[in-house]
Copies of this chain bind each other. A is one copy, B any other.
Amino acid sequence: MRIVDIRQRTFPLNVAIANAAISFDDMTASAVAVVTDVVRNGKAVVGYGFDSVGRYGHGGLLAERFAPRVLAADPASLLDDSGRNLDPDKVWAAAMQNEKPAGHGERSGAIGLLDTAVWDAVAKIEDRPLWRVLHQRYGRGPAPTTVPVYGSGGHYRPDGDIRTLADEVKAMLGQGYARVKIKAGGAPLVEDRRRIEAVLKVLPSPDRLALDLNGALAPAVAETFLDTVAPYGLGWVEEPAPPLDFATSARLAERYSHPIATGENLFAADEVKNLLRYGGLRPDRDLLQFDIALAYGIPEYRRIVAAVEAAGWTRARLYPHAGHALALHVVGGLGLGCAEAGADQSKMFGGFPAGVTIADGRASLPDTPGIGFERKANLFAMAAGLVE
């Protein structure tokens, strides 16, 4: 078997939302199709991948560097021992040849995008959902049937309406989510308190609420923010420190006794090791949110999991960033703590493939082969046309 072609497309998101760090008005994302010569149900197997959202599309780098390397490799050098399926680690190594160490941005997203599509193809060729493939290879204990999930939303909107925010959270609870996350730190503290208290009114307990600061606050402002919200006893506060400011992270963790979550803006095992070594985080309560698709994909995520475990943490503390189907499969397959979910199914990057149900704060795992992007119609439309 072989990879016949790798095709990509970058598309605009067309959403008008913001968090404390950036506006999403001009945000883009990419879709990729890895076309194979393996036939299933009378058609060539195609693996699809989509970006995690927030760092723009990665299709350009994929087209410039990584796809040509993979297409130029001897096809036999990319196969597993059976010779009948791709070996994702070998495809990864072919894409990354002659890349210098460090510089973990953009490139890590382009490789993660490609790797997503490779795993989608691998699972389709195995005729099983990706989470089952991952569980068999890298999982622990019995196969799960559902995984914990939390609803993510509560962005700042141009109208700034607090009732809209409370309604959004109520809708998430109605959908079956038990925990929710909203954005904070992007408005004056007095407004953020109003937002928080409006949401707490509709939740059964304050530990069901998480706040995402997006690493945008100056350290002194973050201290005040944490002091202010400490009495609530929230589920977690996310990115109170700038992503690479490990000294501030350690100081805030010293000050704030409730859970802190971070890591979505670290993109390689190198960077994760430094966070674990210098960031002052606490394995008994804090949460690690490295984004699988933005951080070089599953081969690197396995190195990240190994680094996390070597530092004395359990997989239950891993809550990968980005509410997409890839993360859901990896949470299920590797036995991680919780998946994020963009709860608004009407959004391109909201909700999961059709057939995934949410109940009691848990998501069912897909049973169709591959990742299932085809069953998330408004997202999959962005890949339409890549393969006739």
A-side residues, CB < 8 A to B, are 10, 21-28, 54-57, 60-61, 63-65, 97-108, 214-216, 242-247, 265-268, 270-271, 273-274, 277-278, 294
Contact = CB atoms under 8 A, between A and B. Distances in A.
B106 A243 contact: no
Given A24-B98, A247-B277, 11 more contacts: A26-B98, A56-B65, A60-B60, A101-B216, A101-B244, A102-B243, A103-B104, A105-B108, A106-B107, A244-B268, A277-B278
Given A57-B64, A60-B64, A64-B10, A243 B101 contact: yes
12 contacts: A28-B64, A60-B60, A60-B64, A61-B106, A100-B214, A101-B265, A102-B265, A103-B267, A245-B270, A245-B273, A274-B274, A277-B278
A98 B19 CA distance: 10
Contact of A274 (B23, B215, B278): B278
A243 B100 CA distance: 10
This chain: how many copies in the complex? 2
A176 to B, nearest CB: 30
A81 B101 CA distance: 41
A99 B22 contact: yes
Nearest to A69: B26
Given A60-B64, A61-B61, A274-B278, A100 B55 contact: yes
Q: A-side binding surface: helix, strand, loop or mixed?
A: loop
Shortest 4 CB-CB contacts between residues of A and residues of B: A103-B105, A106-B106, A105-B105, A102-B243
Contact of A98 (B25, B61, B63, B270): B25
Contact of A244 (B56, B102, B106): B102
A291 B11 CA distance: 32
A98 B21 CA distance: 7
Contacts of A244: 101-102, 104, 268, 270-271, 274
Contacts of A274: 244, 246, 274, 278
A9 to B, nearest CB: 13
A271 to B, nearest CB: 6
A124 B186 CA distance: 41
Nearest to A277: B247
Contacts of A60: 60-61, 63-64
Nearest to A64: B60
Contacts of A103: 55, 104-106, 108, 265, 267, 294
Contacts of A246: 274, 278
A273 B98 CA distance: 27
A194 to B, nearest CB: 26
A243 B104 CA distance: 11
Most buried by B among A104, A268, A294: A104
Most buried by B among A10, A28, A103, A274: A103
